[in-house]
Amino acid sequence: MTIARADTIDGLVKGLAVLESFDTERQRLNATQAAQRAGLTRAAARRHLLTLAHLGYLETDGSHFWLSPKVLRFSGSYLASSRLPRVLQPTLNRLAAQTQESFSAVVRDEAEVVIVARSGQLRLLAYGLHLGARLPAHATSTGRVLLASLPGAEFEAWLERHAAGGALPRLTPYTEVHPGAFRRTIRAVRRQDWCLAAEEHELGVQALAVPLRDMQGRTVAALNVVVPTGRLDAQRLQQALLPALLDAARELRPLL
């Protein structure tokens, strides 16, 4: 959504930028680090950090700041009030019960995908796949399915923004980081309408994903299954589980 400049509250924009500067790479930040990450002066970042701590969204030892449990109010409210997770959850539960595999549904938030529903045992992942977990879109099957749904010009703009320095972030030795090769991968996903990603986000893990579309043909989410690489090779994974994913996507379409 785009709004007029006069309708923008700069203080809110800056405060949210400071809040979003905390992530898995940097759980604790001082004012200088927060300023660098949020693109603010140190003095401005310090004021926002102190205000957020005063409101209870951050905790501090007087020098460094870190997120408090209060920030979970936002994700909890979304998961409790959004229609999408409620619609998807029964299907994920059924798939997990039928196959004994682990399934997730995700939406995209710029360079990441966010898990909004999941079912099954996910012990194989070091990172875990809990509700609200955020994963890099370029290195995941669901992220690639969602990127493939973008119009060509929009995808090119996304790739230009996130391939800083001429490459996407590398997470494992198998992550596709070169823009040209990644562009070809997305074209292939667009043609076949599903994606298999193996060990690009985490070693020993592969995932198969399909888009979830509404009745107007808009891709609103992605559904995937996560399997250890040692248990099923790519061909067997596709043969065994792609039909179930495609059937589930068709069944869900009238509900989305």
Which is more confidently placed, 104 or 3? 104
Find the mean pLDDT for residues 86-105: 93
| Segment 129-146 mean pLDDT | 90
The string of pLDDT tens digits covering residues 215-228 is 999 999 999 999 98
What does the alpha-carbon distance between residue 183 and residue 222 come to, in Å, rounded to a whole number?
19
Residue among 22, 18, 126 nearest 66 (CA): 22
In a domain, 103, yes or no: yes
Question: Are residue 53 and residue 120 in the same domain, yes or no?
Answer: no
**So what's the pLDDT on residue 122?**
56
Asked, for residue 170, whether it belongs to a domain, the answer is: yes
Tell whether the model's pLDDT for residue 104 goes beyond 60: yes
pLDDT for position 154:
96
Domain match, 65 and 96 both: no
> How high does pLDDT run on average in the chain?
90
Query: Across residues 82-89, what is the average pLDDT?
Result: 90
pLDDT for the residue numbered 212? 97
Reported confidence tier of residue 132, pLDDT bands at 50, 70, 90:
confident
For residue 102, give the CATH number of its domain.
3.30.450.40
What's the whole-number mean pLDDT along residues 21-27? 79
pLDDT value for 139:
96
Instruction: Classify residue 53: in a domain, yes or no.
Output: yes
The pTM (predicted TM-score) of the whole model is 0.78
| Percent with pLDDT over 90 in the chain | 70
Looking at the structure of the chain, the number of domains it has is: 2
CA nearest neighbour of 144 among 102, 184, 97: 184
Q: Which residues contact 137 (CB under 8 A, 6 or more apart)?
A: 108, 110, 111, 112, 113, 143, 144, 146, 147
pLDDT-based confidence at 93, cuts 50/70/90? very high
Residue at a domain's end among 42, 71, 100: 71
Rounded mean pLDDT, 48-69 = 92
Contacts 24+ apart (CB under 8 A), 174-178: 174/198, 174/199, 174/200, 174/203, 175/138, 175/139, 175/200, 175/201, 176/138, 176/139, 176/200
Tell me, what's the pLDDT at 181? 96
One domain, residues 40 and 166: no
Average pLDDT over residues 116-144: 79
Task: Assess whether pLDDT exceeds 80 at residue 204.
Answer: yes
Residue 250 in any domain: the answer is yes
* pLDDT tier, 79 (very low <50, low <70, confident <90, very high otherwise): low
Q: In this structure, are residues 90 and 59 in contact, taking their beta carbons and an 8 Å threshold?
A: no
Domain limits for position 52 = 5-71
Q: In the listed set 71, 99, 121, which residue is the last one of a domain according to the structure?
A: 71
Residues 12-32 as b or e (16 or more Cβ within 10 Å = b): eebbebbbebbeeeeeebebe
Residues 155 and 64 in one domain: no
Same domain, 213 and 119: yes
